[in-house]
Amino acid sequence: MTPRRLDHADTLQLPVTGDGPFDFLHTVWKPSHYATGLEAHTAACSWRTFRVGDLVAGVRMQAEDRLVIADVYTDGDYKPAHRDHLVRRLTASYGLEEDLATFTELASAVPAMREPLSELSGMRQSCPEDHFEIAVVALLLQNVTIARTTQMTRNLLTHHGQLVHFDGITLRAWFTPAELAHVTPETLKEQDRLGYRAKTLPHFATFFRDHTTEDLQEAGNLAQAFQQIKGVGPYTAAIMASHASRNPATFGLDVWNRKILARRLLDVDDASPEAVMGCLNELFPGHAGTAGLYFVEHKYLRAPVTPLLDLAGIDAWNEALEHPGT
């Protein structure tokens, strides 16, 4: 597949205004995250695609102390409104206004957090996906292995997303809710291999086509709003809401994360979600979500699901995306 070429359109300078330390690498790259082709990271640089309305934007980010420099690439009509949207999106996505000082103080007093804090100090929550994209990821993570989720994500992005090339790298880009709304459940099941999710995903597309991020933010209770989607129960809605709201007190506790936290905090192989969250809330009041993130990412730090990209390997990366299966 030949990717769309994106040209340089803007350079944004985004200050880190939130209190506390700042670690650029572990803010943009999370060792636990599975490969999507939507982003790539080296030790000093990060590339990511974003949908800004109907526009596809590629962004290269690097940091100088507490300033994130983001070069924007696009092949569309890039307007001031797109610039304003990207500034807000990148600032929120990478927690540049997030206050880490209180969490850092709490964490320094908890022996179990000593190693994670030492190696990840300054890592902020990162969620570059918008509400619709978060919902899709949450659906694809339900009750399956990472390998199966990776396969389904790759199928969806290959068949319904876009492929773009900018700054020497090729990446996938998301589809919008409107672009997916016309895809039938039969196609999603047979072509994209989504299983039972094929019936649910069209409801996601319709809901988010008709409810903008701004509408949902004004609604207040995101978890309750997400349960309006047919097929979404309280558990999935809570995971979607915790990522979308960027609330440092909440954490999306799946079975794998629960076991990691049970071993680290309770010295048992597994525990109930109530026991795990109760311990997090007791040790890190108001910052249980941030604490959970530190524990989980530290667990994967030595063996990341998607390792950092070596600059010498970018050509191979591009070839794999542009000519899959060869």
Note the pLDDT tens digit of each residue in 108-125: 999 999 999 999 999 998
> Which amino acid, 300?
Y
pLDDT over threshold 70, residue 154:
yes
State the sign of the Cα–Cα–Cα–Cα dihedral 209, 32, 94, 239: positive
269-297, pLDDT tens digit by residue? 999 989 999 999 999 999 998 999 999 99
For 296-314, what is the mean pLDDT?
A: 95
Q: What are phi and psi of 53, to 5 degrees?
A: 65, -130
Greater confidence (224 vs 114) lies with 114
The owner of tokens 């964490």 is: 107
Instruction: List beta partners, residue 173.
Output: 162
Whole-angstrom CA distances from 140 to 39, 147, 153, 198, 240 are 18, 11, 7, 10, 12
- Tokens read off for 312: 């010498």
- Tokens read off for 92: 């929120």
DSSP 232: -
For 66-87, what is the mean pLDDT?
A: 96
pLDDT tier, 227 (very low <50, low <70, confident <90, very high otherwise): confident
Of 178-187, 241-250, 256-265, least confident by mean pLDDT is 241-250
pLDDT tier, 307 (very low <50, low <70, confident <90, very high otherwise): very high
pLDDT over threshold 70, residue 326:
no
For 147-176, what is the mean pLDDT?
A: 95
Contacts 24+ apart (CB under 8 A), 198-203: 199/231, 200/139, 200/229, 200/230, 200/231, 200/232, 201/136, 201/139, 203/229, 203/230, 203/231, 203/232
- Tokens read off for 46: 């990060």
Whole-angstrom CA distances from 27 to 158, 166, 212, 222, 256 are 27, 22, 26, 24, 21
- What is this structure's pTM? 0.91
Contacts 24+ apart (CB under 8 A), 210-217: 213/130, 213/131, 216/131, 216/244
Q: What is the distance of C-alpha 35 from the center of its chain?
A: 11
Q: CA angle 260-224-36, nearest 5°? A: 50
What is the structure's pLDDT at 139? 87
